[in-house]
Amino acid sequence: MSQMLKSSGAMAVATLVSRILGFIREAVYAAFMGVGPIASAFILAFQIPNLFRRLLGEGALSAAFIPLFKEKEKTSGQAEMWRTANAVISGLVVAAVVIIILVVVGVSIFLFFVHPVENSSGILTEQHFWRPHLDSNTILMFHLLRIMFPYMLLVCLAAIFIGMLNARGHFFVPAMGTTILNVVMIGSVYAIAPLFGKTLDRRIYGLAVGVLLAGMAQAVYQLWALKKDGFHYQWVSPWTDQNVREVVRKMIPGTMGVAAFQINVLLTNTMAYQMDQSIVAIFGYAVRLMELPQGIFGVSVATYMLPTLSAMAVDKNYPLFRTTLRQGLSYLFFVNLLASIILVVLAEPIIRLLFERGKFDPVATHEVAIALQFLAPGLIVYSMVNVLARSFYALNDYKTPMKISLFCLAVNLLLALVFLPLIRQAGLGLANTLSSVCNVCFLIYALRIKLKKLELRELRKESLPLISAGVAAALVAWGLYRVSDRYLGHANLGTKLLQVFGPIGVASILYYGLAVWARVPAAHEVLNLFKEKLLRKVLKSPPPQ
């Protein structure tokens, strides 16, 4: 348990730094472009190549490749391990370049034939009846997509480099790569966007160029870190390599296993864009806020779990496999329950503090808060989906999570069709939350069948006191926010900070105190780890080897 916390915690610190910069980036973006149709065009265009980061960086390629990478290290030595990595990277480059060419050429041909109209309901004339008619914002989205799509190759390379570093026991350094990504993207708003013109519909192209430069910087940084560990890239033909075939065979079904949520977001956003173009930007900011706790701890635990569980599966140590899985789920529930509560109760003051400036006005704050309040309850189960899916991959089962995710994807789309016309962006959040609950339930059921038993009884016993502590923390946070808003308002930065961090601080102390009092193991493990580090610092003694 301590090793899981230390490794996940080290990566979480690096991820926290990058997420803070990520929120600075989102705040800069929000002030720059607001939540209007142009912002939605950029966000939707960026989501398409960025989907590959979800599929590969936090999903299918890493899930398929890392167990094989670890197996080669243990059974065949480092030389074969690096050769396998080079073969997979070579295959990735070839496949990504082909996809990029097809998409960029296809979009270019489409844009050549498209006929712009003033809005999506413009009257078709007989002269242009044979040409597609799109409004100017949708055409802008395709132009931005054509520029940003090569980001796919860069982010895929960075993803596989990160997976290799994680498998070699390095977590902090690769997690810092996102910091570089965010710095470059923030700089593009001030240094590149003004070069493209004076209006927003022209300057938005500068952000697209910044995305490409940021992806390049992140990939180069990860490669530099990997070379220090002994890796040197050499072309290895992927066409006849058995390891590449195995990775591809596992990766295709695994794509749906881990990335169902992001595919859901992309598909439902496309539906929302057809109904109201502003909904995409509104929901996008809500997703970013939910990704903060998910990225800090949820992804950190899931990243640690894959190579760890893979090693246990290779050794056929299934009792330890089940214990480690239960501990990981316990940590996720303990941390993300509080995070979910805070995001629901304090949605509006958090969004006001982070985003409300420039083109992002109070109306936008209210609209994004509604989406977040319906999306945040799914944080816990979404984090668990990542860990449970990786458990199947460690057991060399890639089809089961794929089938479950395909079913839940259909559920999400159906729910979005029902809720979107009724409650707009809140409907997207509710659909994703309910489909994530469905996903985790089926994954647990299938994993119990596969392992005969899961030993989750202790996790169920911990959940009741934690939920009680969470309800108490929610009431306290809501009460403090309402009192401060009534008597102090939120006219300046000081009161905005107080409305967010005051309730968060008190609620967190109460939640953690009640969890320790109820003897929740995850809470005591965090406390013991803190005491151990504090004692070492006081005694100035090095950690034991």
What are the per-10-residue average pLDDT scores of the chain (545 residues)? 50 67 87 90 88 62 76 81 88 89 92 65 41 75 94 87 78 76 93 93 95 92 84 86 83 61 71 84 86 66 71 82 85 88 94 89 93 91 84 83 85 90 90 90 91 81 90 95 90 90 94 90 72 56 49
Quote the tokens at residue 121: 């309901």
HEC profile of 474-528 = HHHHHHHHHHHHHHCCCCCHHHHHHHHHHHHHHHHHHHHHHHHHCCCHHHHHHHH
pLDDT of residue 506: 96
Q: In this predicted model, what pLDDT tens digit does every residue of 100-129 receive, in sequence order?
A: 999 999 999 988 887 665 544 444 333 444
- Residue 115, φ and ψ in degrees, nearest 5: -120, 115
* Residue 207: per-residue pLDDT: 95
N-terminal to C-terminal alpha carbon distance within the chain: 17
Which residues partner with 134 through β-bridges? 116
User: Given this model, what pLDDT does residue 56 score?
Assistant: 58
Question: pTM score, two decimals?
Answer: 0.74
Which amino acid would we find at residue 29? Y
Maximal CA-CA distance, the chain:
84
529 φ, ψ to 5°?
-65, -40
Q: How far is CA 294 from CA 25, 98, 123, 303, 449, in A?
A: 18, 32, 45, 12, 28
Chain centroid, CA 397 distance in Å? 23
- DSSP 3-state assignment of 233? coil
pLDDT of residue 68: 82
* pLDDT for the residue numbered 75: 79
Please name the residue that has the structure tokens 């990981």. Answer: 328
Q: How many CA atoms lie within 13 A of 72 on its CB side?
A: 19
